[in-house]
Amino acid sequence: MAFRTLFIAHAPDADKERHRSVIDTGMYHLFTVVVKSQEEAVEVSADFVKRKHIDSILLCPGFSHSDVAEIAKTVGSDVAVAVARGDGPSSKVSQEARKREGYLRNTKDGSMLRVKNTMKISPDSNI
């Protein structure tokens, strides 16, 4: 039996069916999926909990508190839901990197705009 974790990240140009991977050590299965919206994140979370019996979901720093709450409510209390956030200085570094790469507009609301499409992962029908 393996401990199963799903990591979900946002990217404006993500294709949730194509931008995914799995690492399987035998005792640990790490699934990753990149989504473009909160709706997709909720859908992917529910699907992986049902099909892959996920124990833990880890979300990228771009998820808001209400996004996290919606996912936690969707998957239920038997699945841990956490967010990969750093301390204040780390959050600032991450935000600046996302701005530099075109994820965030330099506006008050920090809207996501675009991302360079450099990810080349082959789809895996088992994920």
Q: Does residue 119 form part of some domain? A: no
Residue 66 identity: S
Rounded to a whole number of angstroms, the distance between the first and last alpha carbons of the chain is: 17
pLDDT in tens, 37-49: 999 999 999 999 9
Q: Does residue 117 form part of some domain? A: no
pTM for the predicted model, two decimal places: 0.77
Mean pLDDT (the chain, rounded): 84
CATH of the domain at 68: 3.40.50
Q: What is the mean pLDDT of residues 89-116?
A: 66
pLDDT in tens, 30-86: 999 999 999 999 999 999 999 999 999 999 988 989 999 999 999 999 999 999 887
Instruction: Name the domain count of the chain.
Output: 1
Spatial separation of the C-alpha atoms in residues 7 and 58, rounded to whole Å: 5
Q: Does residue 124 form part of some domain? A: no
The pairing of beta strand 28-35 with beta strand 20-24: antiparallel
Structural domain for 73, as ranges:
3-100
